[in-house]
Amino acid sequence: MAKKSGSPMLATADDEKNLDKKSARTRVRILDAAAQVLSAKGYAGMRLGDVAEVAEVQAPAIYYYFSSREELIEEVMWVGLADMRAYLATALEQAPEDADGLERILIAVGAHLRHELEISDYATAVIRNGGQLPDKIRERQQQEEKKYGAVWRELFQSAAKAGEIRSDLDPYVAQMLVMGTVNWTAEWWQPGRVSIDRVVANAQAFVRNALAPTA
């Protein structure tokens, strides 16, 4: 009897890999759709039917990847914060070697705004819904919030220690005021009215004038 070409075991493994890849792509598509819907409609207004429509899947298929609406929202919020932190870290790593503490804060302002307004529905979902979620699904979000906040805290503390921001400012209060300002931008910015470049330039000038030591 002639041998069959190929190995049934290898073929099965290849099929499983292809299925895994397809499954992973579908899961990401559902997450992307959930971020978009959560960003636009908020926690209370998000419906799995809307997510399914955007993701182009049947609504029951969502439960294959996420056990509940809350688990899906929790994942969106965590991914959003983790991506923001990674994007900010990359922007700071690429900063000029001679950038002082204030300049690094301005780089962070620009990175946060671009990620929030231009790059990620996840970031907008996080900013608009962070305070609306029930405590039972906020644990991972809060842990990632602390990590993201720690990056900003180090920026302000280092700048204050080096005398690169005003000595009459409390670094923590200044940090929270700046972060609150850039977060609120997601609520009023309209793409057709003003460009992101202009928003970033104005925000950086605003923060520089607020923090820079007086002559």
Residue range 60-114, pLDDT digits in tens: 999 999 999 999 999 998 888 888 999 999 999 999 999 999 999 999 999 999 9
Mean pLDDT of 158-187: 94
Give the pLDDT of residue 10.
Answer: 42
3-state secondary structure of 212: coil
Give the dihedral sign, CA 99/105/127/143: positive
Tokens 């608009």, residue located? 128
Mean pLDDT of 207-212: 96
Give the pLDDT of residue 127.
Answer: 82
Asked whether 99 and 107 are in contact (CB, 8 A), the reply is: yes
Which ranges of the chain would DSSP assign to H, the alpha helix?
8-45, 48-55, 62-65, 69-93, 101-114, 121-129, 139-161, 171-188, 196-211
Residue 5 has pLDDT above 50, yes or no: no
How many residues belong to the chain?
A: 215
C-alpha pair distances (Å), 133 with each of 25, 41, 71, 80, 139: 27, 14, 12, 15, 10
3-state secondary structure of 132: coil
Asked whether 178 and 209 are in contact (CB, 8 A), the reply is: no
Residue 3 has pLDDT above 50, yes or no: no
Second-level CATH architecture of 69-211: Orthogonal Bundle (1.10)
> Domain residue spans in the chain?
69-211
Mean pLDDT of the chain: 87
d(CA 107, CA 163): 18
The torsion angle over the Cα atoms of residues 98, 103, 106 and 108, rounded to 10 degrees, is: 40
d(CA 99, CA 92): 10
- In 3D space, the residue among 117, 126, 127 whose CA is nearest the CA of residue 195 turns out to be 117
pTM passes above 0.75: yes
Residue 43 has pLDDT above 50, yes or no: yes
Give the pLDDT of residue 6.
Answer: 41
Reported as a single tens digit per residue, the pLDDT across 17-29 is 555 678 888 998 9
Residue 133 has which token pair?
Answer: 């979620």
Tokens 């996840």, residue located? 122
Q: 10 or 46: which carries more pLDDT confidence?
A: 46
Give the pLDDT of residue 123.
Answer: 81
Q: How confident is the model at residue 9 (pLDDT cuts 50, 70, 90)?
A: very low
Q: Is 173 exposed, middle or buried (0-12, 13-18, 19+ CB in 10 A)?
A: exposed
Q: How confident is the model at residue 131 (pLDDT cuts 50, 70, 90)?
A: confident
Give the pLDDT of residue 151.
Answer: 96
